[in-house]
Amino acid sequence: MLKLVNIFGYLAVLLSAAILVAQSLLLGGLIFRYWIARPHPEVAADALEHVQALALRWFRAAAISLAIVQALYLYVNSAVLMASADIPFREVIGANFFIAASVMLCAALLTAIVAGNKDKYAAWYLCALVLIVLTASVMTDHAASRVEGRVPLIILTALHEVATGFWIGGLPFLLLGLYVNRERATQWYLTRRFSQVAFAGVIVLVLSGVCMSVAYVGSAHALLGTSYGLMLLAKIAMLAALLALGGINFLMLRKHGPEQVIPRLRRLVEAEFGVGLTVVLSAAAMTSQPPAVDLVNDTVQPSHIWMRYRPQWPRLKSPAASELSTRHPGQIISDQDPTRRTVAYTSEGMPVSLRVLNDMRWSEYNHHWLGLIVLGMGILAVLARTGRARWAEYWPLLMIGIAVFIFLRGDPECWPLGPKSFWATWADPEIFQHRAAALLCVAFAIFELRVRRGPSQDGLLPLIFPVICALGAALLLTHSHGTTNVREETLAELSHTPMAVLGVMAGWSRWLELRLPSQDRGVPSWIWPVCFVLIGAGLLNYREF
Amino acid sequence: MRRILAGPWLSLLLLLILAGVATPLWGHAVLMQSKPAANSTVTGPDLPIWLRFNVRVDGKRSRLTLVAHDGSTLAVPAPRQTAPDMLESQVTGVKPGAYKLQWRVLASDGHMSSGEVEFTVK
């Protein structure tokens, strides 16, 4: 039951992220359809009408998606509450989140219906409905649950979400306008109008974000000392990347003409939207954590960080599988066994036995060897980028090393290290997942090598690697580390969050390398190999105690 | 403790194992103050209880349980709210000994949080 609640709980976080994304698309679609793509005498009316019609169709799809994910969220969150707190369904119905989610669900459905009708007041109805969606969203945010400063925080949150929607949510609609319409005049018109809206959106987003950060984090120390603060730092790092991309677009629009700008801008906007989606995902993860300012007793102190992450030589010697806490069938460990004695203490002062300590050493050894492999991949990728070492192009083969590592050490209780037989282990879903992942690593290595050594890097297949890379990193941002200890959780995130951000950067820079015109690929083609090197270095300094 | 994490780019791996290792990130309501306070010693047999959280909580959908050192549980009357962030209740007939007050509260954003306060009754 606990496992089910945990899985459903994580699903609820992902669904709330999907809700935020759909809500942003709704806001972006609204501003694009009724403001950015407004008729203008200098632009051909039929070209613009075509864009408007398609934008409205996408807007409608966003509303339907919002209704679906909201219905799923209602079901999942209600199930979690009923299972974890023994609350009957009739009581769940009256809860604030249930009312807000139901209102948003109804508003989204009505939006989909109204967007399908050609009523002359449709724009006003849609504005009102999207406003209801926004209000329902804000009513389940941190701001609404605060005791002090509630009203200003609600206003700031609403502004933040509107600005996100207009900017990030509007990007796919801009791409739609740029791809369905081949007329440079229309593309130029849409781009320039969008740029004005995005610029205003960025200003509101940053200002409201700064105010909310001050209110929710409270101190500079809490930025590094809490999970909320770390997530905020990750968000700021990704926002900086977004601003860099947006800034390039903004300057290009003002310095060059449509013929130079549009082909580059389309590709940059793709990456901008990808990173923007990750920021929205991390925002959803933040709303499911207590604000840093409330964690007065559980913050990580600089001394904890130094003790955990001071530079140390990687652990290249592992304990034996039999020395771990994993119980083998038939194995009996008596209370008097010396390995059950306390040999260390956690940052919280909790006692740790020798077997648990060995678990940590085992995990560190795994991380450090993986770090070496990833560092190797990064260095080879950098060498390959210099163009002086063609053999270094074979770096994806190192992923096979990762696969072997997962297979051998992912489940120490199983064959070949543990007593469980090879076939018996396939009945365990978790072990099956590890083994399937190892196989996928092999497939991934061969696939990426074919992309690199193949005759052409055009087409959609080469894009799978950067998308999977960026998606995995985004999920890592929302991933918890299975510990109920707040301080230990933060310490674990101190190593994983930077790697997740680097993964996002690696994925989207590789995307840009593949998508940009060949003369513009220089900078992005350096970014992702360097990100790999940094991730490898980060893994090498990973510690659990 | 054992974690196998190959790196962000191996997201397929992550996607597959997430269902196995993921735990929810939520834990939104944080207990700021309580009576009895954590690790305190109080006088019985009547035990007034109040808990103050960092956010507004839904008293109607929150649960309090008192667990004695032998594992037996004492019924805690449904908590009432004198402020949006507070829960209050009272237990009578509490015998001397070590206890845990287990709380499970629903924050107004829909996140369920839980925790416990250990104390001794003399």
pLDDT tens-digit map of A260-300? 888 888 899 999 999 999 998 888 888 878 888 888 777 88
A437·B17 Cβ contact <8 A: yes
Q: Which tens digit of pLDDT belongs to each residue from A412-452?
A: 777 777 777 777 767 776 677 678 778 878 887 888 888 87
Q: In this prediction, does ipTM exceed 0.95?
A: no
Residue of A nearest to B19 (CA): A7
pLDDT of amino acid A2: 53
d(CA B5, CA B23): 15
B7·A9 Cβ contact <8 A: no
| A51-65, A173-187, A474-488: least confident range | A474-488
d(CA B58, CA B84): 8
pLDDT of amino acid A381: 92
Give A-chain residues touching B78 at CB under 8 angstroms: none
Local confidence band at A534 (pLDDT 50, 70, 90 cut-offs) = very high
Check residues A487 and A526 and name the one with the higher pLDDT: A526
B24·A430 Cβ contact <8 A: no
pLDDT of amino acid A334: 64
Average pLDDT over residues A484-509: 85
Residue A15 has pLDDT above 60, yes or no: yes
pLDDT of amino acid A335: 63
The helix/strand/coil state of A387 is coil
Give A-chain residues touching B55 at CB under 8 angstroms: 142, 145-147, 290, 294
Residue of A nearest to B54 (CA): A294
A6·B106 Cβ contact <8 A: no
d(CA A5, CA A16): 16
Residue of B nearest to A473 (CA): B8
User: How far does B67 lie from chain A, in Å, by closest CA?
Assistant: 16
Q: Is the Cβ of B38 closer than 8 Å to some Cβ of chain A?
A: no
Local confidence band at A145 (pLDDT 50, 70, 90 cut-offs) = confident
**B29, A96 contact by CB (below 8 A):** no
A387 burial (CB, 10 Å; 0-12 / 13-18 / 19+) is exposed
B9·A469 Cβ contact <8 A: yes
Interface mutation target, options A147, A355, A527, A535, chain B, most CBs of B under 10 Å: A147
For chains A and B, CB pairs below 8 A equal 220
pLDDT of amino acid B17: 38
Residue A165 has pLDDT above 90, yes or no: yes
Angle at A481 between CA B31 and CA A334, to 5 degrees: 95
* Helix or strand (DSSP H, E) at A271: helix A258-287
Mean pLDDT across chain A: 85
**Given CA atoms A290, A302, A505, B4 in this order, what sign does their dihedral have?**
negative
Check residues A67 and A454 and name the one with the higher pLDDT: A67
| A217-226, A445-454, A479-488, A517-526: least confident range | A479-488
Nearest beta carbon to residue B8 from set A9, A140, A476: A476
Enter the pTM of the model. 0.85
In the stretch 72-111 of chain B, residues with CB closer than 8 A to chain A read 83-85, 104, 106-111
pLDDT of amino acid A340: 66
Residue A239 has pLDDT above 90, yes or no: yes
Q: Which tens digit of pLDDT belongs to each residue from A304-322?
A: 888 888 888 898 888 887 7
Q: Is the Cβ of A17 closer than 8 Å to some Cβ of chain B?
A: no
**What residues of chain B score a pLDDT lower than 50?**
1-27
Residue A483 has pLDDT above 60, yes or no: no
A146·B56 Cβ contact <8 A: yes
A433·B20 Cβ contact <8 A: yes
**A32, A172 contact by CB (below 8 A):** no
pLDDT of amino acid A482: 45
A9·B14 Cβ contact <8 A: no
In the stretch 73-102 of chain A, residues with CB closer than 8 A to chain B read 77, 80-81, 84-87, 91-92, 94-98, 100-101
d(CA A244, CA A246): 5
Percent of chain A predicted with pLDDT > 70: 91
